[in-house]
Amino acid sequence: MSSVTIQPQSYDYPAQNAAGITCTAQAWANVPPPLQATEKAAIVSRIKQLLKEKDAALVAHYYVDGDIQDLALETGGYVADSLEMARFGKNHSAKNLIVAGVRFMGETAKILSPEKRVFMPDLDATCSLDLGCDAKDFAKFRALHPDRVVVVYANTSAAVKAQADWMVTSSCALAIVHQLKLDGKKILWAPDRHLGRYIQEQTGADMLLWNGACIVHDEFRAVELELLKASHPHAMVLVHPESPQAVVDLADVVGSTSAMIKAVVDGTATEYIVATDKGILHRMRQLAPNKKLIEAPTAGNSATCKSCAHCPWMAMNGLQGILNCLETSSGEIFVAEPIRLKALTCIERMLDFTKNHPDLLAKAQHGFVKNIGAA
């Protein structure tokens, strides 16, 4: 019998230096090889057939390959940010969900829809925020601060969510934390330190922050962004709040992926500098074909390494992986029932809040939007 050697997953976050510097070049990812046109057409056709036959819906994040985003939309699935992915998967009638994104998105879908089978093209597709927030370490942190309301970002494992009072995404974090502050709550926040700092600044809430970061957004560089801005003086700068403060401070619009897309579609500028994973440009180009989109810089004199502003784990999603889910039931997500039930509470709390308080979300959105719109 042949033995299989599993390649260990190397990840550099625990080895980051004192300044919190990490490097996407050291993140491990098994990216599928590119497909020939005929091969791709055959796989797409087979996926379309099997999605129907197996009563399955394809849900994709804005950061995955454009072909997968197109396929999701063509087959009645969905392309969205993590908040809307979660809501769509929960409300859809399909018996099976194929989630093209990263691990926590598949887990969230399963937690919300235990009656559905949830599959992912590659179960090793994870997230530096998730990897950087171990459930046992987080439990110790939480135990030190029992007086605080625990708010965790969606980019965490089910085992961390099971310890939280609230789950939030970048679309609703500001509104929810603002409300908690009005209710007199002190907050324990995990895991993204940049998003946590930004929310703290915007809301004035008392927040203790876990020291996690997204290895993609952490690489955007303010010095190079300033130079780029100078050469495109009329461009509007859009920044995701997982980016470092110096980059956020240069933004015209700070917001979630959905908010950034809306800013491009609705904006009057003709040029936009975009500081988030470049996978989002595919949808932006489709929705605003006449706008010029410029990728924000991650390399240059002030950069610690060269990165491509593309998440190595999102890149692990491929058409062949989707076909494998449908043909062989590979990549199924399971969440232990005691963990699922505990994690469900904080996710449902978020979904209820966003459903019942569209006014607060809209108001908070103006907090994400600097220099345009109502203040």
Which residues are near ligand SF4 by CB under 6 A?
Answer: 63, 102, 127-129, 155, 214-216, 242, 277, 311, 313-314
Q: How far is the CB of 25 from ligand SF4 (least distance, A)?
A: 14
Q: Which is nearer to ligand SF4, 44 or 284 (CB)?
A: 284
Question: In the numeric block, which tokens belong to residue 232?
Answer: 């495109």
Q: How far is the CB of 26 from ligand SF4 (least distance, A)?
A: 13
Distances (CA, A) of 153 to 112, 171, 193: 16, 11, 11
361/359 Cα distance (integer angstroms): 5
Q: How far is the CB of 53 from ligand SF4 (least distance, A)?
A: 31
373/359 Cα distance (integer angstroms): 15
Q: How far is the CB of 242 from ligand SF4 (least distance, A)?
A: 6
Q: Which is nearer to ligand SF4, 78 or 220 (CB)?
A: 220
Q: Which is nearer to ligand SF4, 125 or 264 (CB)?
A: 125
Q: How far is the CB of 87 from ligand SF4 (least distance, A)?
A: 18
135: how many CB neighbours lie within 10 A of its CB? Answer: 15
Q: Which is nearer to ligand SF4, 129 or 364 (CB)?
A: 129
First to last CA, the chain: 67
Longest dimension (CA), the chain: 67
Q: Which is nearer to ligand SF4, 224 or 277 (CB)?
A: 277
Q: Which is nearer to ligand SF4, 127 or 222 (CB)?
A: 127
Instruction: Judge contact between 109 and 325, C-beta under 8 A.
Output: no
Q: Which is nearer to ligand SF4, 315 or 335 (CB)?
A: 315
Q: How far is the CB of 128 from ligand SF4 (least distance, A)?
A: 4
Q: How far is the CB of 317 from ligand SF4 (least distance, A)?
A: 11
Cβ-proximal residues to 147 (8 Å cutoff; 6+ apart), any chain? 186
SS (H, E, C) 40-87: HHHHHHHHHHHHHHCCEEEEEECCCCHHHHHHHHHCCCEEECHHHHHH
284/169 Cα distance (integer angstroms): 20
Instruction: Judge contact between 345 and 161, C-beta under 8 A.
Output: no
